[in-house]
Copies of this chain bind each other. A is one copy, B any other.
Amino acid sequence: MDNKEIEQKLESKNVKPTAMRTLVYKTLAETGKALSLADLEQRFEKVERSTIFRALKTFEENFIVHPVDDGSGSVKYAVCDDECTCNIHDLHVHFYCTRCGRTRCMKELPIPNIKLPEGYTYDNAQFIINGVCPRCD
């Protein structure tokens, strides 16, 4: 994915494509995995933690990435599909490998429909499966 494309992508979601944001997005997109703030920080030492943090927050607010709390202690972020608005229909299962610590979006597995008891309403969900991925098996 080249920079032009990324810039267009960000603009289409009403986020000004600064150099830092483009870099953060590019890393997330190319890695194809959910990455934490610390993961990103390591990949480009020169960039400030808070800058990355704010980029992620901006992305999150504009449905460019979605957060995944896989229980590893830090929230990770993964790029959304184009049409994603992060509502209940866009949600999918995430797989957390307890060996390598990598988190993968299972976009092919939407979150199953749940019938809650009377009186409960919901608009979001997290479904994390913990196990061992093919690479670690």
Contact = CB atoms under 8 A, between A and B. Distances in A.
Interface residues of A, number: 30
Interface string A105-124: 01011001010111111111
Contact of A123 (B116, B119, B122, B130): B130
A114 to B, nearest CB: 6
Copies of this subunit? 2
Contacts of A93: 114
B116 A129 contact: yes
Contacts of A60: none
A45 interface: no
A66 to B, nearest CB: 12
Given A112-B112, A114-B93, A129 B122 contact: yes
Interface of A: 69, 71, 93, 95, 98, 106, 108-109, 112, 114, 116-134, 137
